[in-house]
Amino acid sequence: MGHQISRRTLFRTASGVAAATALGGTLSACGGGTGAGTTSDKLTMTWWGSDDRHKAYKKALKYFQEKNPKIKIEERYSGYDGFFDRFNTNVAGGSAPDLTQMDTALVAQYARKGVIAPIDEYVGKSLDLTGFSKTLLAAGTVDGKLYGVPSGIGVNQLTINRSGLEKLGLELPDREWTWADLKKIAVEVNKKSGGKMFGVDDGGGGTLQAFEVFAREKGQPFFAADGTKLGFTADTLQEWWEYWVGMRKDKACPGPEITSAAHNNLTKNGLVIGKTLITFDIGVYGAGGSITKETLDFLPSPQGDWSGAREGNFVNGGVLLSATKASKRIEDSVKIMNFFAQDKTAIKDMQLQRGIPPTEKARSIVAPDLTDIDKRNMEAADYISKRVAKASNALPAPTPPPKGADQIWDLLFQSNLAVAFGKKTIKAQLGEFFDQAEQILAK
């Protein structure tokens, strides 16, 4: 070699090259790109769920393909975590699935963005929705058009560790219980367990089964009907948070560390780890009932105990099946939706994996094979949906939530947590909550 490389040149160059390489990564990871669409002749179907749900879907789809040899299905499935991150990326990259399980909470935003297809033209022809009630179909209806077939009835239930209560010498509360009853029994749990256990997990940041029901009992929906504003007042939220401050003070529910650890993590849920006996998280049972060995039972969300309290519970549609708009196989996708809605084998295979089956006929098909816990769940759901149907003072079922709804739910959770950790007063946090929520909805 003609010259010696000096150490100075060497290290400066090396540091520079390394810096450049390391930097390039972030930026290129953010760039978009137009991917090619799926080229195979298979119909892609995606869903999220537990292992049990995967098995049920696969079994049913196998039967479908035997009956319809012309339709070959590529199945893509995973847990809920990151499911829609992936879905978004696929849609953006032009490789959206043809058919997807859809969250009732997100259907409105995907419908309005033109990602999923309206299917009204097939109803009564290749899509038979006999036996689906209007309130049920509302869960898949956006701006008057149907964008997804509901898989079943979802109701607001609290999951209760009944055997745990019995061990402490306590009884399962009555189905007509109120928020005051919840506090009473939760305090009892803490006392009788010698302070080792708490009655219920902290619902102050919870939407489903929790604040949404409470607000409806006050006659206020979570989102205003047009979806551009919040439907509840600051007073309502303040009263709700104060209730939970009292709950934490009286050790009816655990402190914020346990609440925050359980966020998005079922394995840390208070009921699962044996810290609480009542949970707002419907996932504890939805995970297949296998996550805890205790005997579980179900109760509707508590009722308001003030005068003029209204029925706050409501019925929604479990999950939906939706076809994507860019798909060339919408007709085939509708065929599969119809199969899950009406086919005897499919209904039998799915059991309660996607909620309580939507029609009377379907419920009678699954009834004989149900496990005890499934029976209790179905019975409780039946009780609530009948009570809701009879109630004269119930608000209409919520419309599919607007864009940004998931950010607002997270904001509610974080706000309650900030109060619980003592980082913010209720008053200060209320102001912040409404400011940020308005900003999110304005986008």
Partner 1 sequence: MTTAKTDEVVTEPTAPEAPSDQRERDRMRRRAARRRGGGWWPYLFLAPWFVGLFGLTIYPMLDSLYLSFTDFDLLSPAKWVGAQNYSRMFHDDPKFWGSVSVTTLYVVVSVPLKLALALAVAVLLNRPLRGLGFYRAAFYLPSLLGGAVAIAIMWRQLFGGDGLFNDFLGWFGIKGQDWISNPDTSVYTLILLAVWQFGTPMVIFLAGLKQLPQDVYEAAAIDGAGVLTRFFRITLPLLTPIVFFNVVLQIIGAFQTFTPAYVVSNGTGGPLDSTMLYSLYLYKKGFTDLEMGYASALAWVLFLVIAVFTAINFIASRYWVHYDD
Q: How far is CA 311 from CA 347, 363, 395, in A?
A: 31, 25, 8
The string of DSSP codes covering 399-414 is PPPPTTHHHHHHHHHH
CB of 330 to partner 1, least distance (A): 18
Count of residues engaged in binding partner 1, rule: CB under 8 A: 62
Q: What is the x/- site pattern for partner 1, positions 248-267, by CB under 8 A?
A: --------xxxxxx-xxx--
291-330: contacts with partner 1 (CB under 8 A) = none
By CB under 8 A, name the one of 192, 268, 310, 387 that touches partner 1.
268
| 152 and 354 Cβ atoms separated by less than 8 Å | yes
- Classify residue 355 by burial, with Cβ atoms within 10 Å: 0-12, 13-18, 19+: buried
Amino acid at position 163, single letter: S
DSSP labels, 78-112: E-STTHHHHHHHHHHTT---SEEEEETTTHHHHHH
As given in the structure block, the two tokens for residue 376 are 């209790």
- If the CB atoms of residues 91 and 356 are measured against partner 1, the closer one turns out to be 91
CB of 226 to partner 1, least distance (A): 20
Interaction of residue 371 with partner 1, rule CB under 8 A: no
For residue 1, with 0-12 CB atoms within 10 Å meaning exposed, 13-18 middle and 19 or more buried, which class applies? exposed
Q: Which of 145, 167, 175, 423 binds partner 1 (CB under 8 A)?
A: 423
Residue 250: CB partners within 8 Å, gap ≥ 6?
183, 187, 190
The CB density around residue 86, as the number of other CB atoms within 10 Å, is: 14
Q: Are 203 and 244 in contact (CB under 8 A)?
A: yes
Find the shortest distance in angstroms from Cβ 311 to partner 1: 33
CB closer to partner 1, 79 vs 124: 79
439 binds partner 1 (CB under 8 A): yes
Closest distance of CB 204 from partner 1, Å? 14
List strand residue ranges (DSSP E) for 124-279, in order: 141-142, 145-146, 149-150, 154-155, 157-161, 198-200, 276-279
Residue 67 or 113 having the CB closest to partner 1: 113
Least distance in Å: CB of 29 to partner 1? 8
**Binding to partner 1, residues 93-132 (CB under 8 A):** 110, 113-115
Q: How far is the CB of 194 from partner 1 (least distance, A)?
A: 17
**Interface positions, 56-85, toward partner 1 (CB under 8 A):** 81-82, 84-85
Positive or negative torsion for Cα 349, 50, 328, 133: positive
Strand partners, 115: none
Residue 9 or 290: the one with the smaller Cβ distance to partner 1 is 9
74, 39 contact by CB (below 8 A): no
> Binder to partner 1 among 60, 320, 418, 430 (CB under 8 A)?
418
Site string for partner 1, 19-58 (x = CB under 8 A): x--xxxxxxxxxxxx-------------------------
CB 346 within 8 A of CB 67: no
Binding of partner 1 by 12 (CB under 8 A): yes
Residue 289 beta carbon to partner 1: minimum distance, rounded to whole angstroms: 23
Q: Which of 417, 426, 430, 441 binds partner 1 (CB under 8 A)?
A: 417
The residue among 131 and 283 lying less far from partner 1, judged by its C-beta, is 283
The residue from 71, 74, 76, 89 that contacts partner 1 (CB under 8 A) is 89
Residue 421 Cβ, how far from partner 1 at the closest point, in Å?
Answer: 6
Q: From residue 423, give the alpha-carbon distance in Å to each of 256, 415, 418, 420, 427.
A: 11, 10, 5, 8, 12
Contact residues toward partner 1 (CB under 8 A) are 1, 5-19, 22-33, 81-82, 84-85, 88-89, 91-92, 110, 113-115, 256-261, 263-265, 268, 273, 404, 406-407, 410, 414, 417-418, 421, 423, 436, 439
